[in-house]
Amino acid sequence: MSLGLAGMGWVTPMGSDLTGVWNRLLNGETGLAQSVSSPFGRAYPVFPVPAEATAQAPAHPRLRRSSAISRFAVVAGLAALKDANVELDAEAAARTALIFAVSNGGVIYTKRFYHEIVQSGAQAASPLLFPETVFNAPASHLAAILGISGASYTLVGDGAVGMLALKMAENLMESETLDRCLVVGAEEADWLLCDAYAKWRLLRSTPPIEPFEKPPRGTVLSEGAGAVLLSRGGDIRLEKVAAGTNFRRQSEAGDALERVFAELVDGEIDLVVASANGTFIDAAEDAAVLQNCPKAKVYAMKQALGESVGASSLWQTICGAQCLRTQTAPPDSRRIPVPDAGVSRARNDGQLRRVIISVCGLNQQVAGLRLATP
């Protein structure tokens, strides 16, 4: 079975236009970080999604009370369908599966709901908020908007969850009853998450993210969504998805990534779109690349868009596919520690044929995939 990426869409801190964001990445631009403050006096940087990026969200009743994560997902999902020129009538929707990847989920409503319990007692808890705290609420909204009536799954995990969702899609597409599978990863940022990641000693106090710097200086959280539409055609082939493995300690992440690369590297690899984000991941990923595909260029897109956890694997996949589609790649992250606007793009005209998307999560999961031109 040969699967391809038929369509792509994203909502990022640099906007939601596929080509527009891509060009900004090529130019070495980064999202605009803002400071979010906790009520306990701490401030953290995040890369937020600008309001205009979700302005085209449909005026659907399901989005009336929904959290930001649902709007991100809907905009990205619809963009992927549009990119593929697919319109889902009832028959097509019945032959389309939806897989949703998320890590922290609707954290803003979850925090508000629990805050009411802590602050005022259970009798103050809002029945309007609770349903939006459930992990599969965004997937439910998207399915309702698209009319998907068959298979819909929400997967939870760390930053590798989007890759696990793509693996699940590959498995689902074994069924002849499906023509396509929409895979969406999404996340929303909040001070509570920043506080947690800071206590976990993974966050830095100010941007930028500096991938592959030694010692690692920490990451910056971001938000948004990425969506890819898989079908049995498509202009970018999904050659192999490695479901990966788990590591117990951060020091074992390199060995785990090594196993993923061993599964994915088969012949020449032109580019690795890495998950390096300024944490322990970077050294592990760098070592795996050097060991398995030393000639490959490496691009760590989180330096530009931040660590969006549940959305990040999808963003990386879209980035890899764009490299293949446009035969152009952003500059190698290992040689440009601090990306500045105006850095000249690295062109690889006609030379990009195979790209690995490498994903190491912050909470023990690793996975990856290999994309190729037809």
Alpha-carbon distance 48 to 187, whole Å? 11
Name which of 273, 240, 117 is nearest 167 in CA terms: 240
Whether 158 contacts 361, CB under 8 Å: yes
Residue with tokens 């992250």: 333
Alpha-carbon distance 350 to 347, whole Å? 9
Count residues near another protein (CB under 8 A): 73
Residue among 23, 27, 92, 144 that touches another protein (CB under 8 A): 144
- Interface region with another protein, contact rule CB under 8 A, candidates 172-180, 203-211, 268-276, 331-339: 172-180
SS3 203: strand
**Could you give the count of Cα atoms lying within 13 Å of 70 in the half-sphere of its Cβ?**
28
Segment 22 to 61, residues that bind another protein, using CB under 8 A: 38, 40
Nearer to another protein by C-beta: 52 or 176? 176
Least separation in angstroms between CB 74 and another protein: 14
Radius of gyration of the chain (CA): 19
Least separation in angstroms between CB 86 and another protein: 18
Segment 88 to 107, residues that bind another protein, using CB under 8 A: 94, 98, 102-103
Rounded to 5 degrees, φ, ψ at 234 are: 95, 150
Rounded to 5 degrees, φ, ψ at 139 are: -65, -40
- Interface region with another protein, contact rule CB under 8 A, candidates 22-30, 209-217, 238-246, 320-328: 238-246
- Interface region with another protein, contact rule CB under 8 A, candidates 188-196, 275-283, 287-295, 333-341: 188-196
Segment 335 to 374, residues that bind another protein, using CB under 8 A: 363-365, 367
Segment 194 to 233, residues that bind another protein, using CB under 8 A: 195-197, 199-201
Segment 267 to 326, residues that bind another protein, using CB under 8 A: none
Least separation in angstroms between CB 252 and another protein: 9
- Interface region with another protein, contact rule CB under 8 A, candidates 81-89, 150-158, 205-213, 338-346: 150-158
Nearer to another protein by C-beta: 145 or 296? 145
Residues with Cβ within 8 Å of 37's Cβ and at least 6 positions away in sequence, in order, are 43, 44, 191
Report if residue 240 touches another protein, rule: CB under 8 A: no
Residue among 111, 112, 217, 240 that touches another protein (CB under 8 A): 111
Q: Which amino acid is at 140?
A: S
Q: How far is CA 263 from CA 76, 241, 252, 367, in A?
A: 30, 9, 18, 10
Residue among 24, 71, 167, 302 that touches another protein (CB under 8 A): 167
Residue among 17, 153, 217, 348 that touches another protein (CB under 8 A): 153
Within 10 angstroms of residue 147's Cβ, the number of other Cβ atoms is 13
Nearer to another protein by C-beta: 20 or 147? 147
CA 107 to chain centre: 17
Alpha-carbon distance 297 to 308, whole Å? 23
Residue among 134, 287, 343, 346 that touches another protein (CB under 8 A): 134
Alpha-carbon distance 372 to 1, whole Å? 15
**∠ CA 85-164-130 to the nearest 5 degrees?**
85
Nearer to another protein by C-beta: 114 or 327? 114
Segment 251 to 270, residues that bind another protein, using CB under 8 A: 256
Least separation in angstroms between CB 23 and another protein: 35
